[in-house]
Structure 1
Amino acid sequence: MGAPPGDPPRETRNRAINHGMDAGEDTVLGMHYAEASPQTFATSTATPRFYAWLVFALTFGLLLSDYMSRQVLNAVFPLLKAEWGLSDTQLGSLSGIVALLVGLLTFPLSVLADRWGRVRSIILMATLWSLATLACSLATSFGQMFAARFFVGLGEAAYGSVGVALIISVFPAHLRSTLTGAFMAGGAFGSVAGMALGGILATHLGWRWAFAAMAAFGGALVLLYAVTVSERRLRERGGEGLRPGASEPGFRLSLRSLFSGLFSSASVICAYIGSGLQLFIMAAVMAWLPSFLNRYYGMTPDKAGVSAAAFVLIAALGMVMCGAITDRLCRRLPSRKMAMAIAFCLITAIMLGIAFQLPPGPGQLSMIGLGMFLAAGTAGPAGAMVANLTPTPIHASAFATLTLANNLLGLAPGPVLTGLLADHIGLLGAFKWIPLMAVFAATAFWMGRRHYANDLARIQASASTPAH
């Protein structure tokens, strides 16, 4: 942390962290912090290439199952509303409960997985969310569906971070950024597949079969994973550091020093808040766009699901592109990252604000696409700022804190509050208010920008002080 902003090694580290942040949602965003963890697993080129890629393929497949099970619900909103007479608030809560549990439990469950064993944890988590998704297909009331979705969220909470840590452990270190980015991109692909396939199955076979198909896909992968991957096999093939409870040299920090580092400056707190508020828009539009297309464009659930999935891909592409643009423009002036985040927020507000004032048609859909391209564009700048503003030994905890903020401020409340508004002023009326969250996010980043340069200089200067 002591290198000046333009120092090449410092920039190299920042670009690696930025790449991990820029590559995916939800997200997603809890999956990237293993790359920056103080615990660096030894890897060996002796690991058989075929087996390593097999582990990657199976772990990636389970990530697809994770997001397919999570997002299939959005494609069947219209059918659940019609069959059970649910309010939009209730529908939103079925989506929001999963994001809430992911935000709350990612960090503690990841720590438990490190102690208990990552492969066993992955198998247990995937089994739980697959069975819970099957329970969704059997639900006969809102209460039963909500309980099933609760266990979907419980099973999926730590999968991203544990899965990427396992993958990194079986490949050479020079592939870590590439593998982390590729793995995180699976969240977008899984979301698209869940909404698109879910809409098609729900239209032709009924909504219960949509959930059942996702559960069957996950269950089949769990069985294949259990007979193919184990901690013992990975250790025998060169993946060290996979023992449950593997030590973490140099990472014994007190609770007081940990929290002091996580919230050491006004600018890092503003980065947490701004990132979470901006992702409110992404979560709200992703959850309700199939219903919006169904209600205002007369699309059937299958067509609405496929169309909404295209906008999710646009958002995922925008996340990567905005991160790359930020890296290019801020290579020698890291303080520009706050300015880039503010710009992404304000342009998002303008684009979506115009979109939902237009009548239904190609013009409106084009403006929604432009807005969604930038809606998650702050993920990369926010992650880089958090990395710059927190001590290196606690980057894992810092990224977990960012994930918590993303979920509690954005991904969890976005669908619920949008549904609450829709119950009172209609879904289109609710969408007209959603872009204001980007203005609030821009305000948070602007407040952080006022302190960023001084906070960064102070933290870099204190890096030479011996650690507690």
Structure 2
Amino acid sequence: MNFHSAAPGNNDRDGYLVSKPKAWFAFAMTFALMLFDYIDRQVIVSLFPHLKAAWGLSDMQLGALVSIISIVVAAGGLPVALLADRFGRVKSIFVMATVWSLATIACMFTRNYSQLFLARAIVGAGETGYGSVGGALIATLFPKRLRATLLGAFFAAVSIGSVLGVMLGGVVAARWGWEAAFGVVGIPGLVLAVLYLLVPDYKTVEIAPRTERKQSAMAFVRETAAALFSSRSVLWTCVGAACQLVVVSTIWSWLPSYFNRYHGATADKAAMLAAVIVLCGAVGSFFWGVVADAVAVRRPRNKLVLMVSLSTATLLVFMTAFGVPMGANAQFLLIAFGGLMMMCTVAPAASVVLNVIHPGVRSTGAAVLSLFQNLFGLAVGPFVGGLLSDAWGLQTAMAVMPAFGLLAALCFLRAMRTYESDLAMASDVRMDAATPAVSPVAVSA
């Protein structure tokens, strides 16, 4: 893959790289796969009480079943995204979805903790790079003016998928046992993986001018790294987004157990209550993406101002909800309000990063964000929350973990100082649609 900055092209489709129907089909399919990405990832949360009873697991061990996916995703995100940028995003996503779906189905046949842990790690291997590659595809096929809004809608699938995973897991486990839950959520992903081959891709573009001599591997790495890390605002935004996701992953992973232990809810009822909170996060993900696009019209750095304000507010709401004595109904409403705000950084942070990353490595740039989000965000909440719960009790852990929101706010404040200058330096690169991986005519034949 050779990269160069090309001259800007004519905006003959109102900023759409392909026709609107094709672009929206790509969005729908990418959204659907993200939905099952997180259904498969989070289904196990509602099964915690069953696994704890069946195998006598500690909270740390249960949390590790969630954290291992984020660790594997973080470890493999960059190389997978580099391959996707080089060989095509659609084909790469087809392979990813096939692997994670088969691994999820395999979880139903495990007979001890070690086997389940290994199967969950393979789920993570399949999901590696999906969010970054899918996000880059959406960001490129649609106009820039819709970027935060569409990424907000795309990442709302994270919360919706988590809700469905928790709900389905609780209902299926109550009727047919916890093993069956993995089979129910794993099979649809295989169908979507095949259909995804109909999605349009975009042609890879070049970062540096083409030369007569063949580019060495080391030169390619240096060139890619320079394109990725030339922006200070990218790194600060990645760290801030990760800190906020520590809060989110703690709520996602431990809320069903919290309702089960402290409010006496049955496992399936606790899963339903937690699902309502996570659904609030889905609404918030889309809503704050729309707000971010709106406030950035006058000044782009307002996206970061919004994230500073909301991550701080989320911290205060959750620390009050779990740290101050109150009635069960009042606490639930306050947690729901926090759930609405906790996803406030997902879409704006992604749009900030994608706005200043060269399109030639846009999937890879998104993978840098994903690495931080998974390794230092999603992996931290379940595991550290479990450690604190084993030491001090789940109530205290839920009150302490939201403090990571303050670190997020400080990082976004630092990113504000360089974002607009980094944005001004970003090149306007001509983009072209690629030939579909599978022709619709061929499929119909």
TM range (shorter): 0.7 to 0.9
Identify the residue that residue 408 of structure 1 maps to in structure 2: 375
Matched length: 406
Contact 1:203 / 1:300 at 8 angstroms: preserved in 2?
A: no
Q: Which digits, 9 at most, give the CA deviation of each residue in 1:26-64, with x for residues without a partner? A: xxxxxxxxx9xxxx9x6357xxx6x99877766654443
Q: Of residues 320, 326, 339 in structure 2, which corresponds to 1:354?
A: 320
1:249–1:435 CA distance, 2 compared to 1 (3 A)? closer
Identify the residue that residue 420 of structure 1 maps to in structure 2: 387
1:44–1:367 CA distance, 2 compared to 1 (3 A)? closer
Contact 2:358 / 2:426 at 8 angstroms: preserved in 1?
A: no
Amino acid in the other structure paired with 1:43 = V
Please tell me whether residue 328 in structure 1 is matched to residue 313 in structure 2. no
Please tell me whether residue 69 in structure 1 is matched to residue 56 in structure 2. no
Identify the residue that residue 434 of structure 2 maps to in structure 1: none
Q: Which digits, 9 at most, give the CA deviation of each residue in 1:274-331, with x for residues without a partner? A: 1110111001110111111111111111111121111111112112222333333342
Please tell me whether residue 83 in structure 1 is matched to residue 54 in structure 2. yes
The 5 A counterparts of 1:286-297 are 286-297=252-263
Superposed CA RMSD in Å reads: 3.6
Cα distance in 2 for residues equivalent to 1:196 and 1:102: 24
Cα distance in 2 for residues equivalent to 1:175 and 1:299: 45
1:179–1:380 CA distance, 2 compared to 1 (3 A)? closer
Between the aligned residues of both structures, percent identity stands at 37
Contact 1:266 / 1:448 at 8 angstroms: preserved in 2?
A: yes
Identify the residue that residue 19 of structure 1 maps to in structure 2: none
Please tell me whether residue 97 in structure 1 is matched to residue 68 in structure 2. yes
Amino acid in the other structure paired with 2:317 = M
Amino acid in the other structure paired with 1:444 = C
Identify the residue that residue 28 of structure 1 maps to in structure 2: none
Please tell me whether residue 386 in structure 1 is matched to residue 353 in structure 2. yes
Please tell me whether residue 154 in structure 1 is matched to residue 125 in structure 2. yes
Cα distance in 2 for residues equivalent to 1:310 and 1:195: 10
1:75–1:458 CA distance, 2 compared to 1 (3 A)? closer
Q: Which digits, 9 at most, give the CA deviation of each residue in 1:333-377, with x for residues without a partner? A: 333333322211211111111000234501111111111211121
Identify the residue that residue 248 of structure 1 maps to in structure 2: 205
The 5 A counterparts of 1:225-240 are 226=194, 230=197, 239=200
Structure 2 unaligned regions, length at least 5: 1-7, 210-218, 429-445
Q: Which digits, 9 at most, give the CA deviation of each residue in 1:67-120, with x for residues without a partner? A: 211111001011111111111111111001112222332342234345556555
Contact 1:389 / 1:456 at 8 angstroms: preserved in 2?
A: no
Cα distance in 1 for residues equivalent to 2:27 and 2:161: 16
SS in structure 2 opposite 1:345? helix
Contact 2:241 / 2:408 at 8 angstroms: preserved in 1?
A: yes
The 5 A counterparts of 1:54-453 are 60-113=31-84, 120-162=91-133, 182-219=153-190, 221=191, 226=194, 230=197, 239=200, 247-250=204-207, 254-264=220-230, 266-357=232-323, 358-359=325-326, 361-387=328-354, 390=357, 394-449=361-416, 451-452=417-418
* Deviation of 1:161 (Å): 4.6
1:391–1:60 CA distance, 2 compared to 1 (3 A)? closer
* Deviation of 1:410 (Å): 0.7
Cα distance in 2 for residues equivalent to 1:436 and 1:315: 18
| TM-score, normalised with respect to structure 1 | 0.75
Identify the residue that residue 20 of structure 1 maps to in structure 2: none
1:447–1:166 CA distance, 2 compared to 1 (3 A)? closer
Identify the residue that residue 460 of structure 1 maps to in structure 2: 424
Amino acid in the other structure paired with 1:413 = V
Contact 2:311 / 2:405 at 8 angstroms: preserved in 1?
A: yes
Cα distance in 2 for residues equivalent to 1:193 and 1:416: 22
1:339–1:257 CA distance, 2 compared to 1 (3 A)? same
Amino acid in the other structure paired with 2:424 = Q
* Deviation of 1:191 (Å): 1.6
Cα distance in 2 for residues equivalent to 1:362 and 1:60: 33
Cα distance in 2 for residues equivalent to 1:319 and 1:307: 19
Structure 1 unaligned regions, length at least 5: 1-8, 17-34
Contact 1:201 / 1:302 at 8 angstroms: preserved in 2?
A: no
Q: Which digits, 9 at most, give the CA deviation of each residue in 1:144-172, with x for residues without a partner? A: 11000011111122334555677899x88
Contact 2:237 / 2:415 at 8 angstroms: preserved in 1?
A: yes
Amino acid in the other structure paired with 2:366 = F
* Deviation of 1:123 (Å): 4.1
Contact 1:202 / 1:301 at 8 angstroms: preserved in 2?
A: no
Identify the residue that residue 5 of structure 1 maps to in structure 2: none
Cα distance in 2 for residues equivalent to 1:267 and 1:387: 11
Cα distance in 1 for residues equivalent to 2:365 and 2:83: 18
Amino acid in the other structure paired with 1:424 = A
| TM-score, normalised with respect to structure 2 | 0.79
1:93–1:439 CA distance, 2 compared to 1 (3 A)? same
Amino acid in the other structure paired with 1:189 = I
Return 266-275 or 74-83, whichever deviates more.
Answer: 266-275
* Deviation of 1:463 (Å): 6.5
Amino acid in the other structure paired with 1:402 = L
Cα distance in 2 for residues equivalent to 1:459 and 1:167: 19
